[in-house]
Structure 1
Amino acid sequence: MKILAIESSCDELSLAILDDGKVLTNIISSQIKDHQKFGGVVPELAARLHLENIEWVIKSALKEADLSINEIELVAYTKNPGLIGSLIVGKIIAETIGAYLEVPIMGCHHILGHIYGASIEEDFVYPVLAMVVSGGHTQIQLLRSVDDYEIIGQTQDDAIGECYDKVARYLKLEYPGGPIIDKLAQTGNPDEFKLPIPKTENEFDFSYSGLKTACTNLINKYNQNNEEINKADFAASFQKTAVQTICEKFEKAVIKYQPKTITVAGGVSANSLIRQKVVEIGKNNKIEHIIIPKLEYCTDNGAMIGKFAQEKINISKKLI
Structure 2
Amino acid sequence: MSSHLTILGIETSCDETAASVVARGADGKGEILGEVVLSQLEEHSAYGGVVPEIAARAHVEALDSLISEALLRAGRSLEDIDAIAATSGPGLIGGLIVGLMTGKAIARATGKPLYAVNHLEGHALTARLTDGLSFPYLMLLVSGGHTQLVLVRGVDDYERWGTTIDDALGEAFDKTAKLLGLPYPGGPAVERMAKNGNPERFTFPRPLVGEARLDFSFSGLKTAVRQAAQSIEPVTDQDVADICASFQRAVSRTLKDRIGRGLERFRTLHPDVETPSLVVAGGVAANAELRATLQALCDKNRFRFIAPPLALCTDNASMIAWAGLERMAAGFAPDDLSVAPRSRWPLDREAATMLGSGKRGAKA
TM-score with structure 1 length normalisation? 0.94
* Correspondent of 2:296 among 280, 284, 309: 280
* Partner amino acid, structure 1, of 2:115: M
Deviation at 1:23, TM superposition (A): 0.6
Deviation at 1:119, TM superposition (A): 3.1
Deviation at 1:313, TM superposition (A): 2.0
Deviation at 1:264, TM superposition (A): 0.3
Is 2:87 aligned against 1:78? yes
* Correspondent of 2:221 among 211, 214, 220: 211
Any idea what SS the aligned residue of 1:205 has? Answer: coil
Note if contact 1:113-1:305 (Cα within 8 Å) is conserved in structure 2: yes
Deviation at 1:202, TM superposition (A): 5.9
Counterpart Cα distance in 1 of 2:320 and 2:257:
29
Which residue does the alignment assign to 1:245? 254
Any idea what SS the aligned residue of 1:245 has? Answer: helix
Which residue does the alignment assign to 1:10? 14
Is 2:124 aligned against 1:139? no
How do 1:59-74 residues align onto structure 2 when only pairs under 5 Å count? 59-74=68-83
Note if contact 1:119-1:291 (Cα within 8 Å) is conserved in structure 2: no
Note if contact 1:27-1:57 (Cα within 8 Å) is conserved in structure 2: yes
Counterpart Cα distance in 2 of 1:58 and 1:146:
26
1:57-85 Cα offsets, whole Å, 9 max, x none, are 11211111111121111100111110010
Counterpart Cα distance in 2 of 1:212 and 1:53:
36
* Partner amino acid, structure 1, of 2:326: E
* Partner amino acid, structure 2, of 1:268: V
Which residue does the alignment assign to 1:102? 111
Give unmatched runs, 5+ long, in structure 2: 25-29, 271-275, 333-364
1:256-296 Cα offsets, whole Å, 9 max, x none, are 11262211011111111122122112111112x32111011
Counterpart Cα distance in 1 of 2:181 and 2:137:
39
Any idea what SS the aligned residue of 1:55 has? Answer: helix
How do 1:254-265 residues align onto structure 2 when only pairs under 5 Å count? 254-258=263-267, 260-265=276-281
Counterpart Cα distance in 2 of 1:59 and 1:316:
28
Is 2:315 aligned against 1:300? yes
Counterpart Cα distance in 2 of 1:118 and 1:292:
8
Judging changes above 3 Å, is the alpha-carbon distance between structure 1 residues 278 and 227 closer, same or farther for their aligned structure 2 residues? Answer: closer
Note if contact 2:128-2:134 (Cα within 8 Å) is conserved in structure 1: no
Counterpart Cα distance in 1 of 2:78 and 2:134:
33
Is 2:177 aligned against 1:161? no
Note if contact 2:147-2:216 (Cα within 8 Å) is conserved in structure 1: no
Counterpart Cα distance in 1 of 2:157 and 2:256:
23
Any idea what SS the aligned residue of 1:119 has? Answer: helix
* Correspondent of 1:194 among 186, 203, 210: 203
Which residue does the alignment assign to 2:352? none
Give unmatched runs, 5+ long, in structure 1: none
CA RMSD of superposed structures (Å): 1.5
Note if contact 1:115-1:266 (Cα within 8 Å) is conserved in structure 2: no
Counterpart Cα distance in 2 of 1:76 and 1:59:
15
Is 2:40 aligned against 1:31? yes
Judging changes above 3 Å, is the alpha-carbon distance between structure 1 residues 273 and 119 closer, same or farther for their aligned structure 2 residues? Answer: farther
Note if contact 2:123-2:282 (Cα within 8 Å) is conserved in structure 1: yes
195-204 vs 246-255, which moves further: 195-204
Any idea what SS the aligned residue of 2:130 has? Answer: coil
Counterpart Cα distance in 2 of 1:278 and 1:218:
27
Judging changes above 3 Å, is the alpha-carbon distance between structure 1 residues 256 and 75 closer, same or farther for their aligned structure 2 residues? Answer: same
Counterpart Cα distance in 1 of 2:100 and 2:129:
23
Note if contact 1:74-1:103 (Cα within 8 Å) is conserved in structure 2: yes
